[in-house]
Structures are given as C-alpha cells and as structure tokens.
Structure 1
Amino acid sequence: MKFKLSHTIKRSSKQEIRFALEEQYAIDSKILGIFGQSGTGKSTLLKVLAGLIPSADYSLQVHGQDYENIPGASNPCVYVGSDAVLFDHVRVRENLTLVIKHSASSQKSQIDMLQVVALCGIEHLLNQPILALSSGEKQRVAFARALLCGKSIILLDEAFSALDWSARLYFIGLLSKLKADYSFGFVLVSHSLKELALTCDHIWVLQEGKFVLQSVLDDALDKVLISSTQRGDKAEGRQENLPINGQTLFSVLNLKYRGVDPLDEQLEIWELPGDGKHAAQQVIKRNQSRDASSISLTHDVIAHVIDADKISLTHEQHLASSMLNRVLVIVTSIDEADSYRADYPKGVVVTMSANGQVMRSLISKRSYTTMQIKVGDSLFAIFKAL
C-alpha cells in the first residue's frame, strides 16, 4: 500500500495540525500498528485513508490499483472506530445482511456470514436490537460488518477498546488468522503499545501529523520505551520528544500452545520455539476461559506480553522455586532506567535474547551490582505463570 495525503486540522484560530505524508508499506503481508497519544491525529489519518474526509487531498495505491480523492464507498479501505456506528432501527442480523446486499465490494468477500458470526462470537446477538447491546457487543458487530463489506484493508481505530482484556486479546489474535486465511490487510491504531505489540509487525509513531518513527516491532519498542525518548534533529538544532506517557516497559514473547498442564488443569503449557542454536523452552500460562462460540487459536504461535518488573534474574535455575517459568537468556544490553525516564521506577533495564526473542527485565541497582551482570552473560529469567 502506498499513500500520499495532505490535510489540516484546525484546533483553534492559533493551533492546527498539518498532515503532509507520503508513505509506503507492505500491507498485504504484514499488520501495521500506528501509535501516538490522544490528539496526535491518528483517527484523522485513518479517516482520510478511508475517504471519509472530503476536504482532504489523498491518493492510495492498493494491489497495483490507484485511487485518488474518491469517496468512501469506492475506497478499498473500511474504517472501524471505537464508537461502533450501527443501524439502530434494525437488528444485528440485518446490520450484517444490509452490508452484504448494498456494499459495492461485498461480492469480492472471501469470507461468508456464517464464518464471520462464528469468529466474532455473535451468534447469540443476531436477533437482538442494537439498542440492547453493550458497548463491547456493538464493537464485535461493527468488526463483523467490516469483514463482510468486501474491502481488502480494514482500518481499526481503537476498535476493541470496549471489550474486556480477555476478549480484546482474542480479537487482536484473530487479526493474524484473518490475514493468513482470507488475505485481509489491517492497520491498527492505538495509544497502547502493549495492544499493538501483540499483533503488529511494524509500529509507526505519529506525532502532530507526521511520523517520527517507523520500525519493526522490537526495534520500535526499544526506541520508544528505552533508549531514544528524544530524537535529535541536527539540521534544525532541536529535540523532539516521542509520545511515551503512560507506557510501561514490557517484553513480547511469541509462544506455541502445547496443551493443558497434566499436573494442574488450571494451567497450560506453551513453548518458546527453538531458533536453530537453542532448544525450545517451556513456558507456563494460566488457563484462560474461552468463549465457546469462538474458534480457538491455541494451535497458532501467539504473542504474549510480560511486564519487565515481573521478571527476576538469577544465575541459577532454582528448580525448587514457586516461580513456574525459568527461561534461559543471554544478556544483550544494560541501561539505567532512571537516566532517561523520570516516571519509571529507579533501576536497571537488562535486555536479553531468549531463543532469538527479546526479553526485558527491570531490576534494582542493588540486584544489578550484587549479581555483577555483564553483556554476554547467560542467566535465567524467572517469572510466574502468565
């Protein structure tokens, strides 16, 4: 996908945000996450790309086809916002069938209504009036409707924000399955890096109408969360702060489901895959109750988030510990957290490689000094069941 756009948002007579962007991204093979604090222009960007702001000047190229300043109905992108706008005068079923009947692109859809209803877990809602739905249920229906409209790129603007965390994790995980099975492209906007990290391959940071960072996931997390809270612009002699307020240090591990723990049915056994140099490692996770109407994704490799302050480090494996997870890691870098983030707990960030995946631990200066940790050390990352 290539896009070029220009647009100005008038905040007041003295303040405005100007967009002048020309970008390219392989949306057909990866999921793009766009991060930024409230008011940075994330929603406006998606609405422009979906052809929903007539005053904007934009062009798109999707699968080799060019689109320029065309209205939303003929645009290859569909916008799904957090407000989940639905037709209140008809029931859920009719909201879905109407888009199938009247969308100019619906005949191109590779997924049918029965599949969408099952994937989104909304069978029990089909005969419900829209006014009877909760905010989370409305978001499920709005997402289902977007899947049925036949457009190839779905722009998600905090589209799962009203769901509880367990349901949100399911839908975030569902995006990868939909991309693999039905060739959907997704752009996911959020002010939560954790949410983006669970599914996105790349993260772009938007601030005041321009992208100040575009990077692969782990590199982006390092730059936004750790070492590059300020980006110098030598040409203009100024410093530009990245929008990191309210974010916490964390790691993302891609794990493969192996089954229920034979010693405790409340736990599951997952696997940190081997990387050719290191054997696969076991990770224990709490058994999450699943919606019976949804299709399980447990046999796919799924991302899991671990807060850095939940990971302890040790030179020994400590098999007798009540901590169930003991992952062998190699230290790749060490940073003092309080040297760049005043809002972090005082301590030291130890970044490690776990079978080629990045893990981060936030430990005290005392622990760091006592353990005499050095880059290249082999340690065990110890943490409770996820």
Structure 2
Amino acid sequence: MLTLRITHPLNGTQQTLTWAVEQHIIGIFGASGAGKSTLLKGIAGLAKGYVDNVSYTQQVLPTDANSDTPLYYLRQRSVLFPHLSVVQNLKLVITHGKRAKQCQFSLEEVVSWCELEPILQHKPGQLSGGQQQRAAFAQALLSGKPLLLLDEPFSALDWSARKHFCCLLRYLHQRYQLQFILVSHSLQELALSTDYLIHIHDFSLQQQGTTQALLPQLSAHTASVQSALVRGKVIAVLKDYNLTKVQLLAPSTQYIYINTPGFVDDEVQLPLVANKVSIAKVKPQQSSIVNCLRGHILSLKRKDDCFCVEVDVDEQIIFANISFLSLKRLDLKVQDSVYLQFKAN
C-alpha cells in the first residue's frame, strides 16, 4: 500500500491518497501541465513542496532522494552512462545496485523481454530514443526494487513496441508481483497496461477508480469518442498469424483474436473505441472481420451526429457508435440481442 499527501501549490488545499499498488498497476492520467510528472517526482522524493508524508507498506519513506528506498524512478529521458555499452550499463546496476540481489530474474531474461540483443554492445550515443528507453527500463527491472515509478517511459517507441511493453508490465505484475505506477497522456496506453486510474487536473485529484470503470468517462470527455475495456485470458499465441487468442473473463465462453502480444494464461485487456465497432442483428457469415461477440443492448443514447449503443457482453460493457440511418434500418431497441464486430487491435 502506498499513502501520500498532496498540497496544491497555489491554494494550499490538501488531499491524502492511498493506492493499493500490490493489487493494481496504477496509471496517472491528465492533460499536459496537470501535475502528473510532478506528482511522480514528489513520490520519489525529487520534488519538494507538493507531495509529503509518503509511506510504503506502512513505512514512512525518507525525503532524501539519495537514500536507499524501495522506489525506482524512471524518467522519460534515459540516464545511461555514455562511455559504457548497453550491457555494461546493465551489469553496473547488478553489481552496484543496493537491492539488485533481490531481483527475481536474470540479465538474460530482461535482455530478452526488452529486446536488447542487437544493441548490447552499442553505446548510448549510437542508440535511438526508443532503444535508450528500452535499455533504461531494463535497468529499472534489474535494480531489484519492488515499486517502479514510470514517467512516460515508452514515449519514444512506435505503437507496436509500446503495446509489447504494456503487456510486459502486466506479465511482470502477475507473475512476479512487481509493482508499477505509470504516468502517460495516452489513454490507450493506460488502458492496455493499468488496472486502476488516477485522473489529475490542475495539481488536484479529480477521479480515481478501476481502469474499466473510468475509461469510458475519460475517453468520452477527452477524445469525444467513448472507449471500453474488454478483459480476457490468453489461451493461445498463434505465431503463424501474428495473433493472440483471448477468452473473455468468466462467466463468458466467447473469445476474440488480437494482435497485441500476450503470454499464455495471463490476463490481458483491450481498449475498444466506439466508432470502430459495428453492429448486426444476425451473426455475420464469411466476413473478413473475425472478431464477433454476442450481447444485448442496455441503452441507446443520441449524440450530435450518431447514436451510442451500450451493449452488455457477458457482464462486460462495449460501446458502438452508429448512424441514424443504421439505427432505423436495424430497428434497434433496448434488450435486443446483437452481434458486435471489430478488427484485431
């Protein structure tokens, strides 16, 4: 459990926050300048005056950033030693890290997870921004610290690589109980990787709750298009097709195919944007879109230029935006059984 107190820098109002980091991967979301990075730095002891009274597992943490704490702060820009190769930088953490002996995995495993094999002998000056971020994340894993504070650590990666690391966070949390707090301005990134969201605005907590509960609200407010979160368990990795087969969580027996990487038996989650989901009243046959889920309509809400259809799929909510013409042609009503189609994401 992580507890902290934040004091608004202008009006002095205070809020005490408690986050179950052992149970959830925590995501911090907000607009640019909202205070996300300042909050994370304050937890790490790197920013004074905004965050204080930080305690982790009921132990008050020292405010001196140079002290040995169980927290590892990873900034957006890596701090690799420029005169050392990637592998030398990693071995330096293993050799001199105060908690490195508590690391639960080997150098070889971390190198593989972070896809560093081709660049191990390269020095930081020879690396792209994304490669530097992958190496810096590997350093954080090898530190042996149980709680990693990640300040937009994958921002320089393309979306395909970023999805890999989002799934890696969930894998490490589920398999090794490693704990993460992730700052990002991308709801899609947070939807893939986190279980619990903190919404920060103007240096104050606006909302907090499970990612599945808050994602529809935040996405509708910030992007004007609602997103939902579909959760499931990986049952097969189809390498020949570059797809992962996922069965929706119980009580569902339905499954989908996604191109987000996953590990067998691990839980994954997929954000679905409402305007990427189509609706049919009869199950489509011989379609190029392989994902088709059965559900029933909970509500129909008119928006400016469309209707937002809320569908219950085995106790998970999915939204679909359809035109007025489609609504009329399908003659949709609340409680109607429907089929939802969407492409692998």
> Structure 1 length normalisation: TM-score?
0.81
Which string of whole-angstrom CA distances, capped at 9 and with x for unpartnered residues, describes residues 64-123 of structure 1?
Answer: 322142324423211112212221121112211222233322233222322211221112
Alpha-carbon distance between aligned partners in 1 of 2:183 and 2:5, rounded to the nearest angstrom: 18
Q: 1:360 maps to which residue?
A: 319
Letter in 2 for 1:376: Q
How high is the sequence identity, in percent, across the aligned residues?
31
Q: 2:43 maps to which residue?
A: 49
User: Does 1:370 find its partner at 2:329?
Assistant: yes
User: Does 1:275 find its partner at 2:250?
Assistant: yes
Which string of whole-angstrom CA distances, capped at 9 and with x for unpartnered residues, describes residues 339-361 of structure 1?
Answer: xxxxxxx2111121222222111
What's the Cα RMSD here? 2.5
Letter in 1 for 2:248: P
Secondary structure at the counterpart of residue 74 of structure 1 = coil
Give unmatched runs, 5+ long, in structure 1: 10-15, 230-243, 291-295, 339-345
- Is the 2:43–2:51 contact (alpha carbons within 8 Å) kept by the matching residues of 1? no
Q: 1:71 maps to which residue?
A: 65
Letter in 2 for 1:306: L
Q: 1:326 maps to which residue?
A: 292
**Aligned pairs (5 A) from 1:1-386:** 1-6=1-6, 20-54=14-48, 58-226=52-220, 229=221, 244=222, 246=223, 248-255=225-232, 256-260=234-238, 265-266=240-241, 268=243, 270-273=245-248, 275-276=250-251, 278=252, 280-285=253-258, 297-338=263-304, 346-386=305-345
Alpha-carbon distance between aligned partners in 1 of 2:241 and 2:11, rounded to the nearest angstrom: 50
| Deviation (angstroms), 1:323 | 3.1
Secondary structure at the counterpart of residue 121 of structure 2 = coil
Q: Which runs of 4+ in 1 moved over 6 A?
A: none
| Deviation (angstroms), 1:156 | 1.1
| Deviation (angstroms), 1:212 | 0.5
| Deviation (angstroms), 1:7 | 5.5
> Structure 2 length normalisation: TM-score?
0.90
| Deviation (angstroms), 1:198 | 0.8
| Deviation (angstroms), 1:147 | 0.9
- Is the 2:298–2:334 contact (alpha carbons within 8 Å) kept by the matching residues of 1? yes
Which string of whole-angstrom CA distances, capped at 9 and with x for unpartnered residues, describes residues 165-191 of structure 1?
Answer: 111111110111111222211011111
Which string of whole-angstrom CA distances, capped at 9 and with x for unpartnered residues, describes residues 6-30 of structure 1?
Answer: 4566xxxxxx586733100110111
Secondary structure at the counterpart of residue 175 of structure 1 = helix
Distance 1:266 1:6, change over 3 A: closer
Give unmatched runs, 5+ long, in structure 2: none
Deviates more, 1:90-99 or 1:135-144: 90-99
Distance 1:247 1:157, change over 3 A: farther
Deviates more, 1:92-101 or 1:150-159: 92-101
- Is the 2:74–2:140 contact (alpha carbons within 8 Å) kept by the matching residues of 1? yes
Secondary structure at the counterpart of residue 161 of structure 1 = coil
- Is the 1:18–1:208 contact (alpha carbons within 8 Å) kept by the matching residues of 2? no
